[in-house]
Structure 1
Amino acid sequence: MGVTAIVLAAGEGTRMKSRHPKVMHRLLDRPLVWWAVNSARKADVERIVVVVGNGADEVRSYFADDADVEFVEQTERLGTGHAVRVVRDALGGFSGPVVVLSGDSPLVRPETISSLVEQTKAAHNACTVLTMTPPDVCGYGRVKMDAAGKVAAIVEHKDCTDEERATLLECNSGVYCFCGGRLSENIDKIGCDNAQGEYYLTDMVGIYVGMGEPVASVHCDDYAELLGVNSRIQLAEATKVMQRRINERLMAEGVSMLDPDQVWVGAEATIGRDTTLLPQTFVWGKTVVGDDCVIGPNSRLENARVGNGCTVDETIIVDSQIDDDVCCGPRAYLRGNTHFLKGSKAGTHVELKNSTVGEGSKVPHLSYIGDTTMGAHVNIGGGSITCNYDGVNKNKTTIGDGAFVGSDTMMVAPVNIGAGAITGASSCITRDVPAEALAIERSDMHIVEGYAQRRRARLEKGNK
């Protein structure tokens, strides 16, 4: 039977002081709940069920394009045991191993989930609990062992005696693997006679022990892997753990970082060998960066594709692509399906949107290029703009190979500038320019000799 993962994501998270559900707060570039779902995927879980409640629409919307994620709504939040029972009822029962994960515990590794499942199957356990020993045990449920060293019960922190709080240091992580069939049959036995009046999933341990069913624990040596997030302070702490985990892996694979504490890379990004990530660099989404690049400082790449040998200096690239040997910045902004071909350049203080820049072409400085197809070896003079929006529609500009656009040229789209054409500086181009032609649109300059002197004299006379 395949493995089912239940991700508990229905809680409100009042300590976050937010109008958003706790599990939708971001660790690096993804919500907390995404990390739990992603770990389940990488552990080859067959079925992923997310339990939603508070902020259900926001969670559902985020996973709208993920066909492998199912949702069950817990309309009454009566505890973790109740949440699992709601899933059981919605699915018509469980079969095969059932892993229970917390949507606010983003650091659990896929290998840990797989190990927990294998241990449960190998020993035919009714339940296997993942445990840890954190430096500060306050707030965690405590694992009680019997004389033989086997799991006897889990006691929530609020229900512990003073002695238990002082002596029980093995803690429940909130991650379990159950035998699905036995869980379906016995989940209704959980009661709510506790300080919170809730149905605790942890009570299944005591129930199984009382029934003589095998219950075991697997200790996780790295307690940080099982840290939960209940506040923005804990979110920052968990983010730092994941940042270091990802950065250390990248450096081991051949990526350089001047200061790893000032580089943030998302889980789905790919960075090539001999690429250097400079401080204050963010690499988000499904970004792919090639070999021998320098990214940063002060750069953000989001769902970007970067070729080999590129320089991205103080630049933002969103949903766009640059090919090999492209130089961007400082302070460039590429967005909305912009594509720079090999050897081209985006210079200082330029913005490009939904445009293609041909091989060897340059947009050096202080320009906006939108909805444009540009050929090879084009030069765009400083301060030039494609006027692509008429208030209703976005219009296209086409610039042919080898064209030279003079500084401060306004290209009023739709318009075509032919191959090899030249536009004079400070022109407003409103009609197509033939290939190899010169287009100049300026008003005549008039010079009035002696005007400044006469103006000063008038001003001085008026002030007397």
Structure 2
Amino acid sequence: MGPETGAGPELRAAGETVPVVLAAGLGTRMNSRLAKALHELGGQPLVEHVLRAVQEAGLGRPVVVVGYQKERLAELLEERALLVEQPAMHGTGDAVMQAVERLGPAVTDVLVLYADCPLIPADLLRRVVTRHRESGADVTLLTTLMPDPRGYGRILRDAAGRVRGIVEEREATPEERAVHEVNTGIGVWRVERLRRVLPHLPWHGEERYLTEALGAILAEGGQVEVVEAEDPGLVMGINTRRELAQAEARLRELTLERLLAAGVTVVDPATTYVDPTVEVGQDTIIYPLTFLRGRTRIGRECRIGPMTTIVDSRLADGVTVQQSVVESSVLGTKSRVGPFSHLRPGTRLDRDVAIGNFVELKNTQVGIGSKAGHHSYLGDATIGSRVNIGAGTVIVNFDGKEKHRTFIGDQAFIGCNSNLVSPVEIGAGAYVAAGSTITQNVPADALGIARARQENKPGWSARRR
């Protein structure tokens, strides 16, 4: 899908207030070939965080203004946003004008947001929109007080405290630079006013700034309201790698605060990394150097870590994972994994399964109470309940061209250092003798032996010496 062209019916019926997210920039100061909106924070592109806040605030489907790497943004956003292209990077004023030109008569206001302001909370967006509607203002700005306002436009007020303009730092006087109230760039604008003033904004080199629309609207006698964000860290813009790292630290702090409040024990927050999309149940303990990523869901009373990574996985109640990696897997109640094991995508453990040290599973289902204690590879297999997998067991699932499955029945016993060459089936209650290479099915309750017979030659060693 590419950026939409023409004023389609979806835009004309977009509603009273439409969120407009500016995501066209290159992000030059990031020193990257990747569009700034696509840089990741908490495991997701920056623009994803803004869209999630819009969704949680109940503001409907947003318009996203794209430019640089528009195809990648279109692929990411798919049908979740209406895309409008900014053909050339001519600044925020031009970007908003591209969106406004596409809006139909049903749209009275636009909420302007920035893809590089990812920590904005949904409740703050609702506050700004509500204040704008209740006050009947032409513009409602979101401002904040920053201890160090460098890099931000300053809010200028008159003696009565009314907003009289915004001045960019590079054009501010020393007195204006001393002002700590800054423009976050986020705000609600009356579309009727924007349509009149945006085409006439002055050029600054190759750019036109949305902030200068404020002065034009004030000159027309327009009304301006302000909502102040109490926490400046939630409205910070990201322009550099350093600021991206600062935002990452703040997002991690917010996420861990949510888990702590929900009854999760985080032993060392400074060394625990949890994506904001992760959910963890009450009375679970997370130990240091643990990474919980993506759409991971963890139940109650689990023990996770230390030195553990879990990605896009679901863990039931009472699960223990120690010093291991779990990817796109499902772990049943009271299952145990680790230390030093790797559960690759497609792994499913039923309840009370024990996976010990240095065991790798891939696309494998393991039944109730089964155990694989040591140094094994179990790939593309269905393993029944109460099965014992001996140390050094390898499921040989790949013939050089295709993967094949292995089936192991309930209560089977696989001896140490066994190779099960797929496709093969080990029947319920069957035994595989240690050191065997099994290439044929073993019937239920049978013993499978596939190894050379031992022969001792008396005196051979002495003669050799």
Normalising by structure 2, what TM-score? 0.93
CA distance in 2, matches of 1:374, 1:122: 63
CA deviations 1:317-373 (Å, max 9, x no partner) are 111100110001111111222110010111111111111100001121211111111
- 1:308 match: secondary structure: coil
2:271 to 242, 262, 266: 262
| Matched residue, 2:3 | none
Q: Residue 138 of structure 1 aligns with which residue?
A: 150
> In 2 relative to 1, CA 7–451 (structure 1 residues): closer, same or farther, beyond 3 Å?
farther
Task: Give me the whole-angstrom Cα distance separating, in 2, the residues matched to 1:101 and 1:450.
Answer: 87
> Hey, what's the Cα distance between the residues in 1 that align with 2:195 and 2:267?
53
Counterpart check, 1:285 vs 2:294: yes
Q: Structure 2 CA distance, aligned partners of 1:312 and 1:292?
A: 12
In the alignment, structure 1 residue 111 sits paired with structure 2 residue 123: yes
**Does structure 1 retain, via aligned residues, the 8 Å contact 2:393–2:419?**
yes
**Does residue 81 of structure 2 align to residue 81 of structure 1?**
no
Q: Would you say the 8 A contact 1:286–1:304 is kept in 2?
A: yes
Tell me if the contact between 2:336 and 2:353 (Cα under 8 Å) persists in the aligned partners.
Answer: yes
1:6·1:101 contact (CA, 8 Å) conserved in 2? Answer: yes
Instruction: Tell me whether 1:35 sits opposite 2:49 in the alignment.
Output: yes
Over the aligned positions, Cα root-mean-square deviation in angstroms equals: 1.7
Q: Counterparts of 2:446 and 2:207 in 1: how far apart (Å)?
A: 80
**Is residue 307 of structure 1 aligned with residue 345 of structure 2?**
no
The match for 2:63 is 49
| Equivalent position SS for 1:366 | strand
> 1:156-199 CA deviation, whole Å, 9 max, x = no partner?
11222333223x2211111111123433444323221x3x4411
From 394, 399, 404, the equivalent of 1:385 is 394
Amino acid at match of 1:61: E
Q: Does 1:182 align with 2:196?
A: no
Partners of 1:39 and 1:439 in 2: CA distance: 60
What is the deviation of 1:56? 2.1
Aligned residues of 1:126 and 1:213 also touching (Cα < 8 A): yes
- Number of residue pairs matched by the alignment: 451
1:106-136 Cα deviation digits (max 9, x unpaired) = 1111111000000110111111111111111
Equivalent residue letter for 2:177: R
Alpha-carbon distance between aligned partners in 1 of 2:456 and 2:94, rounded to the nearest angstrom: 86
Q: Is the 8 A contact 2:375 2:391 kept in 1?
A: yes
Tell me how far apart the structure 2 counterparts of residues 21 and 325 of structure 1 sit (CA, whole Å). 44
Q: 1:450 to 1:374 in 2, by over 3 A?
A: same
Task: Give the stretch that moved more between structures: 53-62 or 331-340.
Answer: 53-62
> Structure 1: which amino acid aligns with 2:264?
V
1:52, 1:71 within 8 Å by CA — same for their partners in 2? yes
Alignment partner, residue 462 of structure 1: none
Q: Distance in 1 between matches of 2:228 and 2:386?
A: 62
Amino acid at match of 1:59: L
**Equivalent of residue 169 in structure 1, options 163, 173, 180:** 180
The share of aligned pairs that are identical, in percent, is: 38
Contact in 2 for aligned 1:120/1:179 (Cα 8 Å): no
What SS is found at the alignment partner of 1:330? Answer: coil
- Any unmatched runs of 5+ in structure 1? 458-464
Looking at structure 1, the residues matched to 180 and 276 of structure 2 have their Cα atoms a distance apart, in angstroms, of: 32
Q: Is 1:120 the equivalent of 2:132? A: yes
Q: Which amino acid aligns with 1:205?
A: L
1:135 maps to a residue whose letter is P
Query: How many Å separate the matches in 1 of 2:117 and 2:167?
Result: 20
Distance in 1 between residues matched to 2:349 and 2:340, nearest whole Å: 16
Distance of 1:441 and 1:38 partners within structure 2:
58
Alignment partners' CA distance in 2, 1:58 and 1:451: 71
Is the contact between residue 94 and residue 180 of structure 1 (CA under 8 Å) also seen in structure 2? no
Q: TM-score, normalised by structure 1?
A: 0.93
Q: Which moved more, 1:50-59 or 1:205-214?
A: 50-59
Q: Is the 8 A contact 1:94 1:183 kept in 2?
A: no
* AA of the residue aligned to 1:363: A
Whole-angstrom CA distance in 2 between matches of 1:233 and 1:454: 73
